Amino acid sequence: MEAVNPATGERLDVYDPDDDDTVERKLDHATSTFEDWREVPLREREELLENASDVLRENKQRYAELMTREMGKPITQAIAEVEKCAWACDHYAEYAHKYLSDEHHPSPPGTEVKTVHDPLGPVLAVMPWNYPFWQVIRFAAPYLTAGNVGLLKHASNVPGCALALEEVFAEAGYPDGAFQTLLVGSSNVDSILADDRVRAATLTGSGPAGRAVAETAGKHLKKTVLELGGSDPFIVLDDADLDAALKTGVQARTLNGGQSCIAAKRFIVHTDVYDEYVDRLVAAFEDLTVGDPMSEETDIGPQADPDLMAELHDQVQESVDAGATLLTGGEPLARTGAFYPPTVLTAVPSGCPADTEEMFGPVATVYEVADADEAITVANDTRFGLGASLWTSDRERGQRLARDISAGCVYINEMTKSDPRVPFGGIKDAGYGRELSEMGIKEFVNKKTVWVE
């Protein structure tokens, strides 16, 4: 298992994957640890999570540089990711006891009826490389605090991050076995999930990976949460604040090199402001700095892998061949590393890759619409349904239109984002279940009714 710097092609390190005996030992260890961990008082689990927050902040530069080396995230964004992880830990350390408090129900005189929230056991997490710390912490912070134990199968190109996350919980004082990394390939997931010792699973990743996990989990009647792909609309109406919609739109499409499920991918712009918005979008894209991700001046680093960049470029080329208009970008940069420039496509034909597939890189497709009704129609014309961003100066209009958008979350005059205070997740091919907030921490608990006569 190799870690390769996508900015330079340099091999950073080689890791020996866990063999079958090691996986067996870790599953046993998770099971035995759970029996003790579930009995630890919730307040003590919250205190340990506070410790984890401290560990993240104390080591944020080292963890950020590790991320940047392994998957190319610009260093300033990597530092921000570690800080966001610490914030999520702070949130659950403060609110877990409120979220998990007993819920009392109406009952006959003299009786007490309540719902309690018991942990399920070892939870398998199959996580992606694009936010290698945040994706993990946003499952681990709530699920471990609820009394479960975690088994992380991270993406194979970020093994150093996977082991560093194990270090976070160890240094925070969690018992050995409460959070373990499994250095295994994707081919091992099915057998691990089928094991009786694993009680539930969460996955963030591609549609095919999600379907495979859901199929295996379904056979064994295990709870799952899936956060899959997205092709999020970014709707700019005729009364939008164009300055704000432009500034946020550029960030929403290019943050993390455009490698985000909730990135703004389809810009749907009212005809009255279309020409101005497109001209300014192209100019802003061309003004971005693509380069060394270790430099604080860099806006966009390399794509995480040369093969992923090649796949992205094929989607762009096929779309142009089908009739899309390329306004800027569209060719890998002639330099060492997997660098792809910010790209804008307009006049995108129906059915081409830029119209129907998720573009996992800094490529914006722009659609012109005549009115708000057409904007909603175009926004919903996708098999995905993760997030959406809608821009209008009329907040009541925005809230009214938000109800018509088929997505798990709609942000009005703001970019789509994940926030530990609010539920996060999608519908349709974007997955099911919710992460974060009270909903997230309750996804992997037994909501047990207790009737006391």
DSSP H/E element including 283: helix 271-286
Closest to 398 measured CA to CA, from 264, 241, 243: 241
Helices 159-171 and 60-71, packing angle to 10 deg: 160
Residue 227 known to be catalytic = yes
What residues are paired with 331 via a beta bridge? none
| Residue type (1 letter), 406 | S
Nearest C-alpha neighbor of 51 from the set 63, 59, 41, 40: 59
Are 49 and 141 a contacting pair, CB within 8 Å? yes
- For residue 436, count CB atoms less than 10 angstroms from its CB and return exposed for 0-12, middle for 13-18, buried for 19 or more: buried
Q: Is the CA virtual torsion 252, 257, 260, 264 positive or negative?
A: positive
Closest CA to 262 of 147, 422, 116: 422
Strand partners for 343: 363
Give the 3-state secondary structure of residue 112.
strand
Catalytic residue among 70, 166, 227, 358: 227
Q: Which of 85, 89, 161, 261 is catalytic?
A: 261
Whole-angstrom distance, CA of residue 429 vs CA of residue 427 = 6
- Which active-site residues does the annotation give? 227, 261
